[in-house]
Amino acid sequence: MGYLFLILTIISETAAVICMKLSAGFQNKWYTAFAVLNYALSFVFLTISLKQLPAGIANATWAGASTILVAIAGGLLLNEKLSTLQLISLLLIVIGLIGLNVATPSINK
């Protein structure tokens, strides 16, 4: 159950960052409101996930997975380009996250 809430955390964080970009420096009030709402949801979901997951692993997974999803969303939704080096670096984050989570004792996963 901890990982379910961590996934919701990551999705909320990703949505918040995309909304911040679309808010154009807080000019668009709707995107700004959605960004604030998604950040609030993200912290609620993270707090719930931390009841079952180690803090360091949860935080690293949240940060890394959000980074990857925002980069993908930026490319697909915002026409942001990623260089080969950036793609390789994102792949290294994926490898690191898999290693961290595989090496974590399976308590309440």
Assess if residue 90 is contained within a domain.
yes
Which stretches of the chain score pLDDT less than 70? Answer: 106-109
pLDDT at 107: 56
Would residue 40 count as lying in a domain? Answer: yes
Half-sphere exposure of 81 (CA within 13 A, CB side): 2
What local confidence, expressed as pLDDT, does residue 26 receive?
94
The pLDDT of residue 105 is 73
Domain that holds residue 18: 2-103
Number of domains in the chain: 1
pLDDT at residue number 101: 86
Helix segments in the chain, DSSP class H: 2-22, 29-49, 55-77, 84-103
**Residue 106, pLDDT score:** 63
pLDDT for the residue numbered 109: 46
The reply to whether 84 falls in a domain is yes
pLDDT at 72: 94
pLDDT score, position 96: 94
- The rounded Cα 19 to chain-centroid distance in angstroms is 13
